[in-house]
Amino acid sequence: MTAGSTITQSATTSLGRAARELELRRGEFDLAVHLGCVRTLPDEGGGGRRVARAEIDRLRSEAGFPETLHERVKAVGTTEGAALMGMTTTRFTRLARLGLVVPVKFYLNRYRAIVWLYLAEELRQFAADEKHAPLMKGRTPEGLRGQLEEGVDLRPRNWRGRHLGFQLRQSEDPWARAAVVASLLDPAAVAEVARDPYERAYLNRLRPDRASGAAPDSPAALIAERIVTADDPDEIGWLRADLRQTLSEAREDRPAPRPSASSVLPMPATLRERPPAPARTTDSTDAPDVARSRRLLGWLRRRNADADLPTAP
């Protein structure tokens, strides 16, 4: 069943109920959806996404349910991941910084430190591959050591690439897909590609929620913002090119919404039709009064001058 199939409300269930029926915690369920383990459908009523009853029945009928499903979505941190691969946490961190193992999630602990999580199934597969044997033990190859000494850390970039794929698989609308790409760029980079302010406003309205879940403008949210925003020049260039392409596809589908002419309030008539203030002029009827005032002023000045003259003894 494809995501675009029309399906009745009674044949689907909410995401929360689907998670309970599949015996997954909500975080595990969200990861299962991102990985494609659980397929979702758009709600015909516009209420988000739902899960078909047939999809739940399919997963529940698999051999080893629910343990097999749990294993497919199990995410582990550095310590447990290193133990799964039979190496020290230091070596595991080096592999992650070099991009050889890719995080699937992250969160901030109570000390606001970034905790990266990895799929346990992928780590086991990496360790079982014989071509990775030189990386599992002994000295790190010289070329890789040089990258580590330069401070390379590909964990944020690799997470962003993976997260972008997750979001695009869930986005069928062309404008929503463009918003997914734009969400990984800073506003200035988006403005350089989407110069129309109405398009930028539409992209911002459709952008997916940030991965941190922290309150806006909180210290945790600011840290998460740095993780979810591309900072490598190559990555930024690639995302900008992708945004141009997705924007072009979105414009072909439909233009971004704009305010209608009727929604713009007209200028009040009192302001629109108010005549300019006339220049002040001296009315001819005022001339006698003006002359009279000037004669009186002259008389007062002469009187004051005479009063200041010295008197004879």
- pTM recorded for the entire structure: 0.76
Q: How far apart are CA 161 and CA 183, in angstroms?
A: 12
Instruction: Give the pLDDT confidence of 65-85 residue by residue, as tens digits.
Output: 999 999 999 999 999 999 999
| 269 sits in which H/E element | helix 269-272
Residue 249: which region, alpha, beta or left (left: phi > 0; alpha: psi -120 to 50)?
Answer: alpha
Find out whether the peptide bond into 66 is cis, omega within 30 degrees of 0.
Answer: yes
Instruction: Give the pLDDT confidence of 245-283 residue by residue, as tens digits.
Output: 999 999 999 999 998 765 555 545 544 444 554 544 444
Instruction: Give the pLDDT confidence of 121-153 residue by residue, as tens digits.
Output: 999 999 999 999 989 988 888 889 999 999 999
